Chains A and B, each alone.
Chain A
Amino acid sequence: MSAQPASPDKPADPLVTVEDLHTFYGKSHILHGVSLTIGRGEVVGLLGRNGVGKSTTLKTIMGLVNPRQGKIMLESNPVTRLPAHKIAQLGIAYVPEDRRVFRLLTVMENLRTGLDRPGVTDARKQELLDKVFTYFPRLGERRNQAGGTLSGGEQQMLAIARAMMLEPKIILLDEPTEGLMPRMVTQIHQIIDALHSEGVAILLVEQNVPLTLEASQRVYIMEKGAIRHHALSSDLKVGDAVIKQYLGV
């Protein structure tokens, strides 16, 4: 079990609950009992140095990697070891670190991969498209352009917009500002705030500590495959001892 400190403020209405997650890549033991909770509509940061298991935590929640031990609950329903497409259909969306837009599909086709779900009316599809094109006007301008021809920032926008097409309850956002220019970082921050105001929960993995502390309500800090610290974001500041201890900034 991880040495998880007493929670400062556990959510009253948990959306995703992860308990004692142990994940392996072959024989390598990556996650050593990760436990965390994300409340409905809450933005939670997951901080830590490179290689501590942040991305693996997201992949395990998404069902892209199967845990050897532990439990993942979505609204009190177990989703552990469900195939990723079922987890996505239940309301968890994933924006990976390297964006992974479908490079040969146009922007519109990329969006359609999430939009063409059973039970979504044409009117609803149009509403969702209008919404993302309002958030990301550049995508609207480039709707017929192949995903692979977009700039890094535009690809990041597309990856987030594509996840939004699923109308998820929570988005697992892996390093969305990595390699982006400051203007784009600000825009990503605005999108996180907008999603939060719409009631979408976000589990945000970031190297950008100031952004994470500003955008999230709570943060978990990971080290060596386990949660080592858990605090309200408002209680932490860049330069705090705990941030220096685990992140070196």
Chain B
Amino acid sequence: MAAILSFFTDFPIELFLIQTLNGIVTGMILALIASGLTLIFGIMDVVNFAHGELFMLGAYVGVLVLSTTGSFWLALILATMLVGIFGGAMQIVTLRPLIGRDPLTTILATFGMSLILQNYALWQFGPVARKINEPITGSFSLFYLTYPYYRLLIAALSAAIIGGFWLFLKHGKYGIWIRATTQDRVMAQAMGIPVPWVYTAAFAIGAGMAAASGVLFGPLVGVNHTMGLDWVLKAFIVVVIGGMGNLGGSIAAAILISLLEAYASIWVSPAQAVIVSFIVLIVTLLVRPTGLFVATPK
């Protein structure tokens, strides 16, 4: 009883609020990565193991553009576009020939691409992490912490990109094509929708979103060839918890997971806090394997 009382009386409310903010910021970045992953899975049934490397590639393109032009915003736009085009080309070369084959072949193909991209980055840029400078450097006081504005900017930009993507899916001509193909690819074809190109476009959009998150997150973590690994693992967890192929579910799951990890790290070390994600994943798979944020199948 005394222990419970002391938990509430000693509850670190300030730290809790700081961690809420941290969780939302990380959650928005994770949501941006997971949106691309769930889009690709939802439309093509392809589990893209190279998604983390597209995130990493985006960050490296950002480093190169930034060092050449000095403009963070140009780096963000060019990295998104170039990696988007690269993703489209990658889909045409590696995944399009596998349409209709065993799903295992696409897993192996994307895993192979992931190894190629990771080792190419190591060969080209070496093992030392590169730095992307924040476009804005100011900060504000949050209780006893100095909190950088850039972190808030990341959350806002991620939300803006996801919002723009949602509007495109909801109202754009090609967005409707993507949603129709996701729901019934055979009927989409019968309606004259060029499904193989819709696949390519969806992969390119997913790749572009991963690249954008790579550039946005670069200033916080440094850019190296393995930076995609942790994020793609988390993104996979998010996609499963949110419901495979469910965009809204992935966003909600990304924020939930990031908040839970942030809260857990109040009491345990951040390395141990990661366990929370896996616990939620296991509970989801046991209790509601279709995803926490999917309507109950009727």
Contact = CB atoms under 8 A, between A and B. Distances in A.
Interface residues of A, number: 24
Contacts of A93: 190
A83 B188 CA distance: 12
Contacts of B176: 105, 109, 112-113, 116
Of B187, B191, B194, chain A has the most CB atoms within 10 Å of the CB of B191
Given A62-B190, A88-B189, A114-B191, A102 B183 contact: yes
Given A100-B184, A104-B179, A83 B189 contact: yes
A162 interface: yes
Contacts of A100: 184, 186-187
B189 A85 contact: yes
Dominant secondary structure of chain B at its interface with chain A: helix
A55 to B, nearest CB: 13
A166 interface: yes
A85 B180 contact: no
Contact of B186 (A64, A112, A113, A114): A64
B193 to A, nearest CB: 6
A62 B187 CA distance: 11
Contacts of B177: 113, 116
A113 B186 CA distance: 13
Nearest to A83: B189
Contacts of A63: 189
B175 to A, nearest CB: 10
A174 B208 CA distance: 41
Size band of the interface chain B makes with A: 10 to 19
Contact of B183 (A62, A88, A105, A114): A105
B173 interface: yes
B197 to A, nearest CB: 9
Interface string A146-182: 0000000000000000100010000000000000000
A15 B54 CA distance: 49
A89 B189 CA distance: 10
B179 A85 contact: no
Contacts of A83: 189, 196
B179 A88 contact: no
Interface string A81-115: 00111001100011010001011110001001110
Interface string B162-198: 0000000000010011011001101111111111100
A64 B189 CA distance: 8
Contacts of B189: 63-64, 83-85, 88
Given A64-B186, A85-B193, A105 B173 contact: no
A200 B189 CA distance: 21
A104 to B, nearest CB: 6
Given A105-B179, A113-B177, A96 B187 contact: yes
B220 to A, nearest CB: 36
B190 A88 contact: yes
B260 to A, nearest CB: 29
A117 interface: yes
A93 to B, nearest CB: 8
A62 B190 CA distance: 7
Contacts of A102: 179-180, 183-184, 187-188
B297 to A, nearest CB: 12
Contacts of A162: 191
Contact of A117 (B183, B188, B190, B192): B192
Contact of B191 (A88, A103, A104): A88
A83 to B, nearest CB: 7
A116 B186 CA distance: 18
B290 to A, nearest CB: 15
B123 to A, nearest CB: 39
A34 to B, nearest CB: 20
B191 A166 contact: yes
Contacts of B190: 62, 64, 84-85, 88, 93-94, 96
A109 B178 CA distance: 12
Given A84-B186, A85-B191, A100-B184, 9 more contacts: A83-B189, A83-B196, A84-B190, A85-B190, A88-B189, A88-B190, A113-B177, A114-B191, A166-B192
7 contacts: A63-B189, A64-B189, A83-B189, A85-B194, A100-B187, A109-B179, A113-B188
Interface of B: 173, 176-177, 179-180, 183-184, 186-196
The 6 closest A-B pairs by CB, nearest first: A88-B192, A84-B189, A116-B173, A94-B190, A100-B187, A113-B191
